[in-house]
Structure 1
Amino acid sequence: MNINLPPLPQPLPDQLLQQLSPGALAYLGDAVYELYIRANYLIPPKRLHLYHSLVVAQVRAETQARHLRSLAPHFTPAETEIVRRGRNAATGRPKRLSVSIYQQATGLETLIGYLYLKDPERLTYLFAQLEIEKDTSVVDYTGL
């Protein structure tokens, strides 16, 4: 079940958007992606530690890279270019990750940040294409 987030901001004019680096777009995209993932785990209600565990599994670079690969067939040429710019701008990486995984995750975050500011409707469409894993062993704490 995908949850619809509140309306997104009005798109930024191209002139302002072009002033933002891929790193800045990825910074924003990381936050937007995590908010989307968190919203998807709200129902059914769970204990806070379980929310955290579920979200951490989805916001890991490995999962983001997998999501990027699953969304790639849906990308326009312009979106593919934004992802490429984000991948190429990725510098440094956590020791536990390969360079490729880190670059893919950063590319996804860059695209999310870009679309959040440029075309929120398109971002909503791409988010709807994601297959967010649900933990089937989750206990429903609705009565608590």
Structure 2
Amino acid sequence: MQVKELSGSALAYLGDAVWSLWVREHLLLKGYQRADDLAKKAVAYNSAKGQAKIVHALMEQAFLGEEELDIYKRGRNHKSKSIAKNADVITYRTSTGFEALIGYWYLAKNQTRIQQVMEIAKEVVGQ
């Protein structure tokens, strides 16, 4: 199966795990070692609100190409039966679109693109 053929929810499922790993690596390399500190700092990157902020920065910078926008929209527009505990529907869907992008880049072996997003995320989140 081609990466482009995967559903937005499937890409978001993988993207959630990949992004979480990248965030954990970033925080460990910044020197955080205590589990409670790591968990608190990771929320800024991994929460629906944090991911929505990152998406808004990507959009402001016109960071995404046409194909990437399509992937983002496929994830964002996927109708989910669940929503995040601490986010409204729009924020939750925005973060799902973000996770779909991360999953897409991961499967496409485009680590560079994920790294670029991480750099933008560091500026947005400030950690």
> TM-score normalized by structure 1?
0.75
Matched letter for residue 96 of structure 1? N
Q: 2:20 aligns with which of 13, 29, 34?
A: 34
**SS of residue in 2 equivalent to 1:74:** coil
Query: What is the identity percentage for the equivalent residue pairs of Structure 1 and Structure 2?
Result: 34
Matched letter for residue 75 of structure 2? G
- Per the alignment, residue 116 of structure 1 pairs with 106
CA contact (8 A) 1:90 1:102 kept: no
Q: 1:89 aligns with which of 78, 81, 106?
A: 78
**C-alpha separation in 2, matches of 1:95 and 1:127:** 24
CA contact (8 A) 1:85 1:107 kept: yes
Matches within 5 A, 1:1-144: 15-42=1-28, 43-72=30-59, 73-91=62-80, 92-118=82-108, 119-130=110-121, 131=123, 132-134=125-127
- Which of structures 1 and 2 has the bigger CA Rg? 1
**C-alpha separation in 2, matches of 1:125 and 1:41:** 16
**C-alpha separation in 2, matches of 1:121 and 1:17:** 17
Matched letter for residue 53 of structure 2? R
**C-alpha separation in 2, matches of 1:77 and 1:19:** 16
Aligned length: 120
Q: Quote how far apart the aligned CAs of 1:21 are.
A: 1.3
Q: Greater helix percent: which structure?
A: 2
> TM-score normalized by structure 2?
0.84
Q: Quote how far apart the aligned CAs of 1:41 are.
A: 1.0
**C-alpha separation in 2, matches of 1:47 and 1:120:** 27
**C-alpha separation in 1, matches of 2:41 and 2:63:** 26
CA distance 1:46–1:82, change in 2 (3 Å): same
* Gap runs ≥5 in structure 2: none
4+ residue runs over 6 A deviation: none
* Gap runs ≥5 in structure 1: 1-14, 135-144
